[in-house]
């Protein structure tokens, strides 16, 4: 069922990323937003537009731009940003709102929002976010993201020269967006062995990414987690419920902890 969501030749186009499918929408009433009081809401200027972003962590800590999944800036990406801000010595996490205030509460809405995303504009948002962090207390800045955000994070290693390190989770950019063989920042990437999103985050996509990163010459690591599927990092009660509604029922807390440990080591190595 999950494999039917993706077409290997149509990632990150303006017309299609995920197909409408038999995956059930999950109840809006099951969503519990993370209290926004943890975040400082800011506006960032790029070219002739501005966008909202959400910041958490110490002002002078190394910065990490955290890129949303296809849902938007929802409870799960906020959970991840808060966790990142508290890891080890701590980081300053910033979530740019790529959807300009819109959030998908079911798969149809998320599909519609992602179909309408300006991918080149999203990369510009990421670059502006990196530069905002560097102008506001962070000497070095990394980028991370999950699913759609993971692909954009890896694209930033190619397209955003100010990035100091990247960690991407279960996502690879299309060749039209960015070629990882041209990466300029160190990249760590994480994938689930059972991920069926063919050409985007399955094992073959992970291994193809690894070959391209080898060609780039940058420091890199590609990790594949046995017995885990897509979005395995999402472990909040709401996130688990949503994964199950999408046919993703694996639960492996050890893999989650290992992934976060590797994330922390990588970002400390290049940002601290």
pLDDT at 219: 98
Could you identify the residue written with the tokens 């060749």? 175
Cβ contact 40:231 at 8 Å: no
pLDDT at 83: 96
pLDDT in tens, the chain (272 residues): 233 333 333 343 333 334 333 333 444 433 344 456 899 999 999 998 999 999 999 999 999 999 999 999 999 999 999 999 999 889 999 999 999 999 998 889 998 999 999 999 999 999 999 999 999 999 999 999 999 999 999 999 999 999 999 999 999 999 999 999 999 999 999 999 999 999 999 999 999 999 999 999 999 999 999 999 999 999 888 888 888 888 888 889 999 999 999 999 999 999 99
Strand partners, 55: 40, 94
Cβ neighbors of 50 (< 8 A, separation 6 or more) are: 43, 44
Cβ contact 169:133 at 8 Å: no
pLDDT at 184: 98
pLDDT at 271: 98
Cβ contact 94:53 at 8 Å: yes
Could you identify the residue written with the tokens 């030749």? 9
pLDDT at 238: 86
Instruction: Spell out the long-range contacts of 164-169 with Cβ–Cβ below 8 A and sequence spacing 24 or more.
Output: 164/140, 164/270, 164/271, 165/140, 165/266, 165/267, 165/269, 165/270, 165/271, 166/142, 167/142, 167/143, 167/263, 167/266, 167/267, 168/144, 169/144, 169/145, 169/233, 169/259
- The structural domains of the chain, ordered by start, are 38-271 (3.40.50.1820)
Query: Is residue 170 classed as helix, strand or coil in its secondary structure?
Result: coil
How many alpha carbons lie under 13 Å from residue 103 in its C-beta half-sphere?
Answer: 13
């Amino acid at each position: 069922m999950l494999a039917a969501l993706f077409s290997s030749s149509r990632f990150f186009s303006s017309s299609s990323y995920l197909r409408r499918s038999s995956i059930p929408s999950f109840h809006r009433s099951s969503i519990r937003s993370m209290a926004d009081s943890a975040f400082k809401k800011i506006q960032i200027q790029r070219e002739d537009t501005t966008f909202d972003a959400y910041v958490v962590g110490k002002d002078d800590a190394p910065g990490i731009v955290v890129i949303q999944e296809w849902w938007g800036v929802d409870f799960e990406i906020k959970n991840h940003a808060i966790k990142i801000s508290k890891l080890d010595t701590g980081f300053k996490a910033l979530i740019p709102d790529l959807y300009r205030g819109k959030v998908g509460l079911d798969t149809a809405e998320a599909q519609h929002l992602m179909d309408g995303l300006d991918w080149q504009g999203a990369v510009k948002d990421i670059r502006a976010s990196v530069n905002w962090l560097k102008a506001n207390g962070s000497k070095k800045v990394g980028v991370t993201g999950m699913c759609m955000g993971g692909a954009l994070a890896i694209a930033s290693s190619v397209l955003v020269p100010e990035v100091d390190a990247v960690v991407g989770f279960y996502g690879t950019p299309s060749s039209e967006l960015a070629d990882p063989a041209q990466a300029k920042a160190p990249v760590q990437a994480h994938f689930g062995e059972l991920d069926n999103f063919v050409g985007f985050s399955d094992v073959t996509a992970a291994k193809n990414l690894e070959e391209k990163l080898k060609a780039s010459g940058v420091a890199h690591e590609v990790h594949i987690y046995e017995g885990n599927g897509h979005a395995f990092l999402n472990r909040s009660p709401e996130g688990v419920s949503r994964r199950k509604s999408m046919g993703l029922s694996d639960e492996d807390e050890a893999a989650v902890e290992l992934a976060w440990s590797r994330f922390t080591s990588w970002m400390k190595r290049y940002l601290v």
